[in-house]
Chains A and B, each alone.
Chain A
Amino acid sequence: MSVQEKIARLSAFIRQNPALANIPFMTVAGRPVSPAEALAMLQSGQNIHEVVMGLSRLGIDPDWELVEEFYKRLAAARPDVKIYGLGLPPMSPAEALQHIRARDEIGRQLLETYSRMLAYMRERMGGL
């Protein structure tokens, strides 16, 4: 698939799934980037090889940096919302972030949950 085709597919994905446009989903040049940021890189010709590689491996390797970045952004945007579970303590985004940074059992479960979402994104993208 050419870069132009990848740009077209990524654009369509963002248009159809606005909720997923700004989720950190791969690491490029050492920092977490979202689909919207990856698209901007492809369109401007920056880090093309890394973005293409990242797209092909999306959701395959669980990545602590991505989930950490996600909760950092969520804690800034909506500190009031809470995550509940029938087996986990209720958590604010900031508390979830602490577990992720500690790499503890709850943090690991949050990482797994995040990985499932990345797998869903990969499925929605139809293979990039």
Chain B
Amino acid sequence: MPRMGVATCIRASFDDASRAASTALERALSYMRLKMDVSDLSGERATRSNTIADINSRDPLFVLGEGHGSPSNFTGQNKEIIFQVCNCSELKDRVVYLVSCEAGDQLGPDIIRKGAKAFIGYKKPFLWAMAAIGDPLTDPYGKGAFEPVLELIYRLADGRTAGEAYNASMDKWNQWIDHWSRSTDPVAPLVLQTLINDRDCQVLLGDQNATIAAPAPAMPVPIPAPAAIQVPLSMILGLVPIAAVAAVIAGNELRRISF
């Protein structure tokens, strides 16, 4: 039986889109590591053989994947197929979240048919806009697409049900859609399109009451910041992450875990 509090994460990182998404998900992993036993198969390690070996040896309840996808498959590094329709029985009894284009269309339903507890993914392309290549969470246009993704993972790691995590994520999409609807930035209509698309294409299949970790209080996410700045200010400000302080100073939205 899959083990509660154990997760396998697959993160492709070989082109601009997968590198950006993988970077954004690094924060989710930082949070999960505070509460769970996490195995991170990133970059060259994001292969099918490594994934199967990790699942067989650690028996994780939660499988999180980021990579390119299509209606019938999910891929890892260099688009190597990791899960595909009719070849995903190793996900039986697990909770699966695939941050990927279109896998929610055919692969997600097949994963549920093969006995997975719950599946979360996207029925259509998962899209975002960015002003420059890099971390979407520090990009003015990319941030809104990944915060809902992280919110979902944070809530699952907090021990919330798949349904609660999904709803928290939808709330986050709606907050960002409202935000960009009021914007006069010329890129706002494009950002809105991607956010509305991603929100409307996010699906939760299977058991809405499935959980992956024991209930636990929310915690601040350890957020990477340039070491040269973080160390001296951390000494002054205690353990408050510098990125959170910067967000307050900039007048940005400050959430318990994400902003």
Contact = CB atoms under 8 A, between A and B. Distances in A.
Contacts of A16: 181-182
Contact of B188 (A19, A88, A114, A124): A19
Nearest to B15: A90
A29 interface: no
The residue in B17, B21, B187, B189 that gathers the most chain A C-beta atoms within 10 A of its C-beta is: B189
A18 interface: yes
Contacts of A22: 189
Given A86-B21, A86-B68, A78 B127 contact: no
Describe B's contact surface by its main secondary structure: mixed
B105 to A, nearest CB: 11
B182 A86 contact: no
A85 B17 contact: yes
Contact of B128 (A74, A84, A114, A116): A84
Interface stretch (B54-62, B190-198, B244-252): B190-198
Contacts of B16: 84, 90
A19 B124 contact: no
B79 to A, nearest CB: 10
B67 A86 contact: yes
B131 A84 contact: no
A82 interface: yes
Interface string B79-101: 00000000000000000000111
A50 to B, nearest CB: 23
Interface of A: 16-20, 22-23, 70, 74, 77-78, 80-88, 90, 93, 109, 112-114, 116-117, 120, 124
Ordered nearest first, which 6 A-B pairs have the shortest CB separation? A87-B101, A19-B188, A84-B17, A113-B197, A85-B125, A17-B181
Interface of B: 15-18, 20-21, 66-70, 99-102, 124-131, 133, 141-142, 177, 180-190, 192-194, 196-197, 200
